[in-house]
Amino acid sequence: MNSPSWPVELTDKDITLRPIKMRDQRAWREVNRRNRDWLRPWEATIPPPTAGGPLVHRPTYRQMVRHLRAEASAGRMLPFVIEYQGRLVGQLTVAGITWGSMCSGHVGYWVDESVAGRGVMPTAVALAVDHCFRSVGLHRIEVCIRPENTPSRRVVEKLGFRDEGLRPRYLHIDGAWRDHLVFALTAEEVPEGLLYRWHQARPRHTA
């Protein structure tokens, strides 16, 4: 992936997106461990192997970071950690980046429950989407969310993503194939930038 697309650090006041690093392991593990019950219903899981299929294990932190950074170098992914007031509080990844006649990607994220409701995640998503549209050159961004995940749905609703409907049994989450709602934006829908839209709308929302 060509500069200035990756690696890059994106900041808005107290909130920063920066590339995930090996040295984040201790902080990442601490936040993830402390939020285990909060995150479990929404985290991707590995389905049981099919007959004759390979047995896949959940990667270690180091394996995960190596994979994410290799995919970033190949132009297929943008893996960030989220910092709030200098502290690691979550993760945001733009994955499935496709070029050619599609130029799209999808965003996945999680955040520490202790900072939920402070506008951290809408700001992080807005920073990432603006970067994808303005620097990377993507045209469309999707976010796929379980219908039951009200906090995550509120993020995309605050930012003005379009609800494009249901994808049945879309991802293996918390031990089973789960339905997901699809939310999307194209570059033409936010000519002023998504972060600008969020700043304009935020006084009308609970932070």
The tens digit of pLDDT for each residue in 90-111 reads 999 999 999 999 999 999 999 9
Q: How confident is the model at residue 204 (pLDDT cuts 50, 70, 90)?
A: low
Computed over every residue of the chain, the mean pLDDT equals 91
Residues of the chain with pLDDT > 90, as a percent, come to: 82
Q: How confident is the model at residue 55 (pLDDT cuts 50, 70, 90)?
A: low
Please tell me the predicted confidence (pLDDT) of residue 145. Answer: 96
Q: Where are the beta strands (DSSP E) in 2-84?
A: 10-12, 15-19, 78-84
Helices (H) and strands (E) in the chain, counts: 6, 8
Query: What's the average model confidence in pLDDT over 2-16?
Result: 82
Please tell me the predicted confidence (pLDDT) of residue 167. Answer: 96
For residue 176, what are the β-bridge partners? 173
Please tell me the predicted confidence (pLDDT) of residue 202. Answer: 78
Question: Could you tell me which residue, 205 or 191, shows the higher pLDDT?
Answer: 191
Most confident among 34-43, 53-62, 159-168 (mean pLDDT)? 159-168
Residue pointed to by tokens 């003005």: 160
Go through 112-131 and write b for each residue having 16 or more CB atoms within 10 A of its CB, e for each that does not.
Answer: bbebbebbbbbbbbbbbbbb
Please tell me the predicted confidence (pLDDT) of residue 3. Answer: 46
Distance CA 146, CA 181 (A): 6
Question: Could you tell me which residue, 27 or 174, shows the higher pLDDT?
Answer: 27
| CB hemisphere CA count around 102 (13 angstroms) | 9
Query: What's the average model confidence in pLDDT over 133-142?
Result: 97
Please tell me the predicted confidence (pLDDT) of residue 207. Answer: 38
Question: Could you tell me which residue, 198 or 57, shows the higher pLDDT?
Answer: 198
Please tell me the predicted confidence (pLDDT) of residue 2. Answer: 44
C-alpha 145 chain-centroid distance: 11
Query: What's the average model confidence in pLDDT over 163-178?
Result: 94
pLDDT over 50 at 1, yes or no:
no
- The SS3 of residue 163 is strand
